Amino acid sequence: MNQILRHARYVLGENPVTAASFGMFALFIIAAILGPTIAPYDPLASNTAQALAGPSPAHWFGTDQLGRDIFSRIIAATRLDMGIALSSVALAFGVGTIAGLAAGYRGGWLDRVVGRIVDTIMAFPLFVLAMGIVAALGNNIENIIYATAIINLPIYARLARAEANVRREAGFVEAARLCGNSETRIVLTQLFPNVMPLMMVQISLTLGYAILNAAGLSFIGLGVRPPTPEWGIMVAEGASNIISGEWWVALFPGLVLMAAVFCFNLMGDGLRDIVDPRRRT
């Protein structure tokens, strides 16, 4: 453990950009947790007198067409977007990893079934599949989470399956088997921790992708409904204003969205360097 921390400190020291991304991540989490309490205005309070006002000392990011403070709405949206991203990735990771590990370890019909399901999901362009799922299950936030989880599942399943396949015959697994451990126990207690480092990298990268996905879905009108603040829907609301020149309504939510995704991608790259320097690009 100590060695990992020391190596982590070395990588972060070498790579100030990665260290900065971890810092940014912390900021996002804080904003998500504290949410509306630190926002200067009520994100839902409209004030038509102040509609479409540009950035100013009173409204750092300006106001939207209903006079709501954009900065406050962005902070409030952080909780929702982070929440959607974290829960969908947690779901994809949890279900996908277990399924993949079990499939890779047991082989046989389980492997074939899991393989078929994964292949079928991957036969679709992923965003289109998410659209279809949300359309089918109903237009709400819960289903955005399920849809995003489903389309990200294959990556974890495949990764876990490959690892389980390789380690199936490894020494420590044999030892556990000989000690009388049940297969489930072996999968959970032996294989799972060994897969974790690679999974951490993947989780970070998928978080970025999940946010883009959720924002994209709400941009086209799925999932989140007004007046709920969410980065994607805020960009959609500001889209019509772009053509008339009120750039701030769409720009700030978009920039924050980009920053979040970028942060996750950098974290993923940094984690990859910590976990497996051979894979560095």
Q: Of 22, 124, 146, 192, which lies in the binding site for another protein, with binding defined by CB under 8 A?
A: 124
Nearest to 28 by CA among 191, 258, 209: 258
Classify residue 189 by burial, with Cβ atoms within 10 Å: 0-12, 13-18, 19+.
exposed
Kindly state whether residue 138 participates in binding another protein, applying the rule CB under 8 A.
yes
- Restricting to residues 58-117, which ones interact with another protein according to CB under 8 A? 116
Q: Is 19 in the site for another protein (CB under 8 A)?
A: no
- Alpha-carbon distance of 170 to 40, in angstroms, equals 57
| Closest by CA position to 161, among listed 108, 210, 221, 107 | 107
Binding segment (CB under 8 A) for another protein, from list 65-73, 134-142, 162-170, 192-200: 134-142
Tell me which of 123, 179, 180, 193 binds another protein, using CB under 8 A. 123
Residue 212 found at the interface with another protein (CB under 8 A): yes
Nearest approach in angstroms of CB 1 to another protein is 27
- Asked if 10 touches another protein (CB under 8 A), the answer is no
- DSSP, residue by residue, 81-93: HHHHHHHHHHHHH
Distance between CA atoms of residues 31 and 21, nearest Å: 15
Asked if omega into 227 is within 30° of 0 (cis), the reply is: yes
Rg (CA), the chain: 22
* CB 205, min distance to another protein, A: 9
Give the DSSP per-residue string, 140-151: SHHHHHHHHHHH
Query: Which residue, 149, 145, 153, is CA-closest to 97?
Result: 153
Q: How far is the CB of 119 from another protein (least distance, A)?
A: 7
Exactly one of 29, 45, 175, 239 binds another protein (CB under 8 A); which one? 239
Q: Is 55 in the site for another protein (CB under 8 A)?
A: no
Q: Is 2 in the site for another protein (CB under 8 A)?
A: no
CA distance 121 to 8: 35
Nearest-approach distance from CB 118 to another protein, in angstroms? 10
Distance in Å, CB of 244 to another protein, minimum: 8
> Per CB under 8 A, does 23 bind another protein?
no
Which residues contribute to the site for another protein (CB under 8 A)?
116, 119-120, 123-129, 131-133, 135-138, 208, 212, 215-216, 219-222, 232, 235-236, 238-239, 242-243, 245, 247, 250-251, 254, 257-258, 261-262, 265-266, 269, 281
